[in-house]
Structure 1
Amino acid sequence: MDARYRLSSDPADIDRARVHRWLSDDSYWATGRSRERQDAAIDGSRCFVALEAETGEQVAFARVVTDGATFAWLCDVYVDREHRGAGVGTALMEFVVRELEALDLRRWVLRTGDAHGLYERFGFTEPEQPETWMARELPGGGTR
């Protein structure tokens, strides 16, 4: 990533309205998520952003749900369409990994429909025993 960008885990650097717009209007996994629900998710998570160094405009976001001791779920990773292909997503993931590795967590998980190659570069693989994993997903859950 070039010097046009800076990375941050400071909650004050999150443009919450922009994150909500990206995720609720342009993502395939959080379409229709309410602003209140998104703000609650941010408040309950460790969040990471990439910003244009000169303007401070947010260009990417990632959220991690973790207990800080054993487990982390990487989610809501989004790079602004105008900044894709500039290495922002890779740099953001390097930053997230560096920050979380200090916690010495046993397991990190994520769910993605389109970025397997990116996450594989950071050690993510299919679960060794996928038959031991279960999920409870409710239609429309998480949008209000």
Structure 2
Amino acid sequence: MRLDTDFMRNDDSRQDRKSRCQWSASICSMNPLRSLIGFKLAPKNASSSEIPLTMYTCLLETPSIQVYQALRVGSGLSGKTDEAAARGLPNSLFAVQILHGAQPVGMGRVIGDGGCFFQVVDIAVLREHQGKGLGKRIMGEILRFIETQVPESGYVSLIADGPAQDLYAQFGFVHTAPRSVGMAYKRPRPADS
């Protein structure tokens, strides 16, 4: 199988986007919050008339609580309560969603203090849409935000689960161990009564 991808965005230069995401780009006039991604999956020797076209759109907007929860669980990440999502989502510094038609199928966010510290979180693509380059598209949008909005001294980090570290490495993220390691607070469980 060969994967040919074209996506269009009205505010990106052809060479700049190609080098960031390793996808070919062309320019079209569209809503600046959306960009069109056309994915053509075809056998190596298929003619262009034989290639089905599935369209995805990229929306630079924080997902709703329900969409956020569904994308996390549907992609294999842990669930978050209504209360946690309601508190956390409005504090996103940047968010991107991938839509298939009108249906959200992927997302990613950047959180932090807006000056010194930034963390990439919630990189999620529904299982049935994985393997189509959507994670790269999400990370490409996040990298664009980092490169244009994060001060030079800002520290950008993420926690990589399993093989996702290979995706993040393509966007300039490196292991920090052994010099520093990620740690998480684990709440003590209440004693059984």
Please classify the TM superposition score into its range, dividing by the shorter chain length: 0.7 to 0.9
Q: Does 1:95 align with 2:144?
A: no
Distance 1:72 1:140, change over 3 A: farther
Q: Offset at 1:67?
A: 2.2
Stretches of structure 2 that go unaligned for 5 or more consecutive residues are 6-36, 39-54
CA–CA distance in structure 2, aligned partners of residues 22 and 35 of structure 1: 14
Q: Offset at 1:7?
A: 1.4
**TM-score normalised to structure 1 length:** 0.78
Report the equivalent of 1:6: 57
- Alignment of structure 1 residues 32-111 onto 2, 5 Å: 33-45=80-92, 46-52=94-100, 55-105=101-151, 106-111=154-159
Report the equivalent of 2:165: 116
CA–CA distance in structure 1, aligned partners of residues 84 and 150 of structure 2: 29
Per-residue displacement from partner, 1:19-70 (whole Å, max 9, x unpaired)?
2133256534x34x21221232111112211112xx2211101121122223
Higher relative contact order (CA 8 A, sep 6+): 1
Query: Between Structure 1 and Structure 2, which shows a larger proportion of strand residues?
Result: 2
For 1:138, give the aligned amino acid. Answer: K
Query: Between Structure 1 and Structure 2, which shows a larger proportion of helix residues?
Result: 1
For 2:70, give the aligned amino acid. Answer: R
For 1:74, give the aligned amino acid. Answer: V
Q: Is the CA contact (8 Å cut-off) linking 2:96 and 2:109 kept in structure 1? A: yes
Per-residue displacement from partner, 1:60-96 (whole Å, max 9, x unpaired)?
0112112222321001110011110111110111011
Q: Which has the larger radius of gyration?
A: 2
Distance 1:134 1:97, change over 3 A: closer
Report the equivalent of 1:27: 76
Distance 1:99 1:63, change over 3 A: same
Stretches of structure 1 that go unaligned for 5 or more consecutive residues are none
Count of residues in correspondence between the two structures: 134
Report the equivalent of 1:139: 187
Distance 1:129 1:109, change over 3 A: same
**TM-score normalised to structure 2 length:** 0.60
Distance 1:18 1:127, change over 3 A: same
Q: Offset at 1:140?
A: 7.3
